[in-house]
Amino acid sequence: MFHTLFPFHILYRAKTYCYEMAVLFDEQYGSTTLNQRYVCTATGAVKIIENKKETFQSIGHAFRSVFLPQGYPESVSEDYLLYQIYDTIQAFASSITGTLATQAMLKGVGVGDESATALAATMTWILKDGTGMLGRILFAWLQGSSLDCDAKRWRLFADMLNDFAICLEISAPFFPLSFTFIVCTAGVCKSIVGVAGGSTRAALTLHQARRNNMADVSAKDGSQETLVNLAALICSLLMVPIVAEQHLLVWALFTIFTGVHLWANYSAVTSVVMETVNQARLHILVQDFFRRDTVSLLSVKETNMREPVIFKTNWRFNIFMGSQLRLLSDRLDDLAQLQHLYSVEKYILGLNTVSRKIHIVLRRDSTEIDQLMAAFQAEVINVLTQMQQNGVVGVGSIDHRLGFTAVNENAINEILCSSFHTAMAKNDAYEVSRTSLELTKNLFPIFFSKLQNSGWTTSHVLLGADEWRASWGSAMQ
């Protein structure tokens, strides 16, 4: 029975094959040079032959294993290495300036001063920490939802605020009467830095982790930062005795390292290439969509390079997603008109030409694609208004300097654009909303297709929608 189940001639053939072909398997660790071969010997045994690496190759592999995510570079985004280089530079510079601030703080609370008391120093430190805790809670309440949407801008803001806080701490000993107030202000700033910096770091880590390995990427980032802080600590041990009483030298070092810190942070955030659509990147894409006659939209990389990371985008109409119905109008007739206009849509867009605000009410069953469509309509209003004010498009007519052929070659879209500019000139908010909606219905499918073909992620968006939802039309049934 056993002989019928196990064909021994297969084993014989495998053994014969082993004699003829020495190499059985070739094994490699990821994309590294670490590899090994399995070969058979004359006796039929299997032997493992490892790649003989040079010493520097072995050190490099050990460094990658300790400080880089497993599977690097395939397991992370393409911008990972460049970002981490700049992040390492800024972390070193920040550690140095932080040491200078610590020295100044200790001096300010009375270390080395015989007349100072431990109680006074303790009270100052408690007040500093207490105000910082309150600042952390308040900032997270006010800005927590916007940190995901503008991760790069808030990341840079956090580091700039951190430099300001360090400047306050170094300055505090020179103002003994206001010392407690200054250090408390610095504590609030640093607490905001902790919230904004930590939250945006998590958002960037999520972007960089391409194998659902966010924990590994975050852990290795922590290892890199620890190594940098250790190097900065050694430098600080050598530096502090030299600059202890040299105030001019302290300020000179602070200025130099702060400059390096800001440059490295700006370079780091601008090197990040995010594929998700936020309001700033959408504004750039819609501008390009209308102004250029091209088959595809701007690439993901080029759009990210144009994204503002210091100041907010200058919209003609500020956009508020997920607003309450009462913000559209306080008149029943206006709300009834808008409800009829958007009866088949899953959002209602209302604008105020006086306050320059666009409020978007989302229906309860709206999806992220509906949010993207609503934001697209809001950007159509902004872009066409901006072109009109810049003289690119004349009121009541379409100038062929407008590069988008779907407008120039489509008579309906030309008429709609002309009606839009006439309504904007008359401050007719309802007509602006109507014509922009018709343009959106005609152009959004084209835009969405180009968005997908250009490599953008459309499964989720970061448009900062609030949580208000309403029901009307078919959603009421």
216 and 281, same domain (yes or no): no
pLDDT > 50? residue 197: yes
97 is written with which tokens? 């300036």
Torsion-angle region of residue 395: left (phi > 0), alpha (psi -120 to 50) or beta?
A: beta
DSSP state of 178: G
pLDDT, tens digit, for every residue of 280-325? 999 999 988 887 656 668 889 999 999 999 988 888 899 999 999 9
Indicate the average pLDDT of the chain.
83
Q: How confident is the model at residue 367 (pLDDT cuts 50, 70, 90)?
A: very high
Helix (H), strand (E) at residue 46: strand 46-50
- 343 lies in the same domain as 323: yes
Residue 206 buriedness (CB in 10 A; 0-12 / 13-18 / 19+) = middle
- 70 is a domain residue: no
Task: Please give the tally of structural domains in the chain.
Answer: 3
| pLDDT at residue 92, rounded to an integer | 95
| Residue 131 within a domain | yes
Residue 23 burial (10 A CB sphere; 0-12, 13-18, 19+): exposed
The verdict on 298 and 263 lying in the same domain is: no
- Least trusted range by pLDDT, from 6-20, 227-241, 441-455: 6-20
Q: Of the given ranges (43-57, 59-73, 342-356), which has the lowest mean pLDDT?
A: 43-57
CATH number at residue 93: 1.20.1250.20
Which H or E element spans position 231? helix 214-243
Mean pLDDT of 121-143: 85
Half-sphere exposure of 128 (CA within 13 A, CB side): 21
**How far apart (Å, rounded) are the C-alpha atoms in residues 280 and 286?**
10
Average pLDDT of the segment spanning 355-383: 94
Separation CA 354–CA 203 (nearest Å): 36
Q: Which residues pair with 318 in a beta bridge?
A: 357
- Per-residue pLDDT at 172 exceeds 70: yes
Within a domain: 250: yes
**Half-sphere exposure for 58 (CA within 13 Å, toward CB):** 6
In this prediction the pTM is 0.84
Euclidean distance between CA atoms 219 and 216, whole angstroms: 5
Same domain for 284 and 264, yes or no, is: no
Q: Is residue 248 part of a domain?
A: yes
Tokens coding 12: 């014989």
| Residue 36, φ and ψ in degrees, nearest 5 | -150, 155
* Contact by Cβ (8 Å): 309, 325: no
Q: Are residues 407 and 435 in the same domain?
A: yes
- pLDDT band with cut points at 50, 70 and 90 for residue 185: very high
Residue type, 407: V
Q: How far apart are CA 94 and CA 367, in angstroms?
A: 42
Question: Does a structural domain hold residue 175?
Answer: yes
Instruction: Print the domain residue range for 331.
Output: 277-476
Residue written as tokens 């951190």? 162
Cis peptide before 73 (omega within 30 of 0): yes
Q: What is the DSSP string of 286-329?
A: HHHHHH---SS---HHHHHHHS-SSS----SSEEEES--GGGT-
264, 87 contact by CB (below 8 A): yes
Model pLDDT, residue 127:
86
- In the listed set 231, 250, 272, which residue is the last one of a domain according to the structure? 272
- Contact (Cβ atoms closer than 8 angstroms) between residue 347 and residue 371: yes
Q: Would residue 18 count as lying in a domain?
A: yes
Whether residues 247 and 381 fall in one domain: no
| Out of 3-12, 113-122, 331-340, least confident range | 3-12
Separation CA 191–CA 138 (nearest Å)? 10
Q: How many residues does the chain have?
A: 477
Last residue of a domain, one of 256, 272, 288: 272
For residue 1, the model assigns a pLDDT of: 47
Count CB atoms within 10 A of the CB of residue 227: 15
Does residue 282 share a domain with residue 262?
no
Paired strand residues for 332? none
Final residue of a structural domain among 217, 248, 272: 272
Q: What stretches of 82-188 adopt beta strand conformation (E)?
A: none
Bigger pLDDT: 21 vs 193: 193
Respond yes or no on whether the N-terminal peptide bond of residue 308 is cis (omega within 30° of 0): no
161, 250: one domain: yes
Task: Say whether 395 sits in a helix, a strand or coil.
Answer: coil
40 & 150 share domain? no
Residues 160 and 121 in one domain: yes
Q: What is the pLDDT of residue 401?
A: 42
Q: Is 63 part of any domain? A: no
Same structural domain, 246 and 99: yes
Could you tell me which residues come within 8 angstroms of residue 107 by beta carbon, excluding any fewer than 6 positions away?
173
Q: Are residues 250 and 136 in the same domain?
A: yes
Q: What is the C-alpha to C-alpha distance for residues 131 and 146, in angstroms, rounded to an integer? A: 23
Distance CA 50, CA 29 (A): 12
